[in-house]
Copies of this chain bind each other. A is one copy, B any other.
Amino acid sequence: MDIAMDRSALQAFLEAHFPQAADYEVDAVTPDGVVMRLCPDARHLRPGETVSGPTMFALADVGIYLAILSRIGPVALAVTTNASIDFLRKPLAGRDLRAEVRILKIGRQLAVGEAILTSEGSREAVARASMTYSIPPQRGVK
């Protein structure tokens, strides 16, 4: 699939539209999707210094959303309709969290992607998430 937004266009979109953008970084646009990164700070941590579940959920959500936009462009109002997430291991303390995102489908009405989360420097999956987004009938560009 063609690339509609490159790494810097995604990063600019993120900073313009997400209040928590400072936490995230678009590492790369890949043939399958994107790679995202979260630098956890105190707000993301649970007792025991591990990243909280909702923070991992948010990283996967932002990453899959941007992966879809990287192919279809800055479509207004695509919304998450469904998500499933498996929490597999504790993230390593003091490490960035990486999300490798792979697009599984971009249809007329629905787009589906998947994210595998790992701690920087480790290959073991910390979490796996898949999410579905509803694409509005007219692809209005923001």
Contacts and interface: CB of A to CB of B under 8 A. Distances in A.
A8 to B, nearest CB: 22
Interface residues of A, number: 33
Main secondary structure of the interface of A (DSSP, over half): strand
A57 interface: yes
Contact of A86 (B47, B81, B87): B81
A112 B130 contact: no
Q: How many copies does the complex hold?
A: 4
5 contacts: A80-B87, A82-B86, A88-B112, A104-B125, A110-B134
Contacts of A58: 52-54
Contacts of A80: 53, 87
Interface string A103-115: 0110001101010
Contacts of A100: none
